[in-house]
Structure 1
Amino acid sequence: MTRRLILLRHAKSSWKTSGPDHDRPLNARGRKSADAIGNWLRMAGHLPDQILCSTSRRTVETCTRLGLDVVPELRGELFHAEPEEMLACLKQAEGRCVMMIGHNPGIGAFAGRLVTSPPAHDRFDDYPTGATAVIGFDLSSWNRVAVGTGHIVVFTVPRDLL
């Protein structure tokens, strides 16, 4: 049975606000990028049936702007999560196509560890804001996911879409 994972790093956030890092909103460029990613996902048919999202303001705002018809599950453990924490969270997922919205450096490292080989895209290794990887797995359930078991279906960044 095929499963898909959409790994999305939150869109560009603002550094102009004071307060905790957790509470930073998207900036204008980030809002435009999140809208573009959502349009691209819908047009390409990459539609998750489950969304696991960090609790930060910028990840929640990114998720909202995607315009997908799925209520996100807000997960505190995804705020600045390491790849191991992300893997543990994914192993509990139940959807056939799961989206995970998080932060670097964890999400970029997680993407790199999951796939057998990286895509031929010059931005995959640094996984900039808004970077989105769609990864396919030949698994019957997410609890069988492991390092090196996925393959890149497609990878993009907002700059490719705008």
Structure 2
Amino acid sequence: MKILGIFRHAKSDWNDARLRDFDRPLNARGRKGAAVMGLHIRDNAVGWKRVLASPAVRVTQTLELACEAAGETPPITWDRRIYLANSATLIDVLREQPDDAGSIIMVGHNPGLEDLIFDLVPDDGTSPLRDIVEEKLPTAAYAVLELDIDHWADLREGCARITHLVRPRDLDPDLGPDFAR
């Protein structure tokens, strides 16, 4: 069995229209959300052996703040293929990983991460956590999937079950949706 963590970047800032999408930083709510989620990830430790992340600014800032809050900085592999990747590309990246990494956390973007969950976790009506993801995988959400595989190269659709899902608003109501904006 392998363990896959999925961590979506925190809320980004859209105020500077001159910035490329890749260069958008976090906004104040995103910075707070990243720190809150960093503590949660640490306190619900899986013992992540590898972090694979998009090098986009909002992802690098999310990880920086989450690691600072958690007091831990694991080694991170920055992979540009994760930036705005679809599920098929994310699966390809995961299939390349060495088997000594029994647990990997991937940090990136939607809709790719959300679609990755949909592809790996069967829609068989038995997963209330998958149902929540179907509503939306919001910024800074964190999920854990158990994969019924022994080798990353064997990753395939329908091989997982989602065992943990936390959104920032689950930990701090101030980090929930703001419908006034």
Aligned to 2:121: 115
- How many Å separate the matches in 2 of 1:119 and 1:104? 21
Q: TM-score, normalised by structure 1?
A: 0.93
List per-residue Cα deviations over 1:52-94 (Å, max 9, x = no partner). Answer: 1001000111111221431211111111000000000011123
Identity, in percent, stands at 30
Correspondence 1:24-43 to 2 at 5 A: 24-43=24-43
Indicate whether 1:72 and 2:76 are aligned: yes
Quote the residue 2:89 is aligned against. Answer: 85
Partner of 1:50: 50
CA contact (8 A) 1:41 1:47 kept: no
Between structures 1 and 2, the one with greater helix share: 2
- Give the letter aligned to residue 27 of structure 1: N
Match of 2:3 in 1: 4
If you compute each CA radius of gyration, which structure gives the higher value, 1 or 2?
2
Q: State how many pairs are aligned.
A: 161
When the two chains are superposed, the root-mean-square deviation of aligned CA atoms in Å is 1.4
Aligned to 1:102: 108
Residue 138 of structure 1 deviates from its aligned partner by 2.8
CA contact (8 A) 1:119 1:155 kept: no
The alignment's TM-score, normalised by the length of structure 2, stands at 0.84
Once residues 167 and 121 of structure 2 are traced to their aligned partners in structure 1, the CA distance between those partners, rounded to angstroms, is 18
Deviating above 2 A after TM superposition, structure 1's stretches of 4 or more consecutive aligned residues are 116-119
Identify unmatched segments of 5+ residues in structure 2.
173-181
Contiguous gaps of at least 5 residues in structure 1: none
CA shift at 1:45, angstroms?
1.4
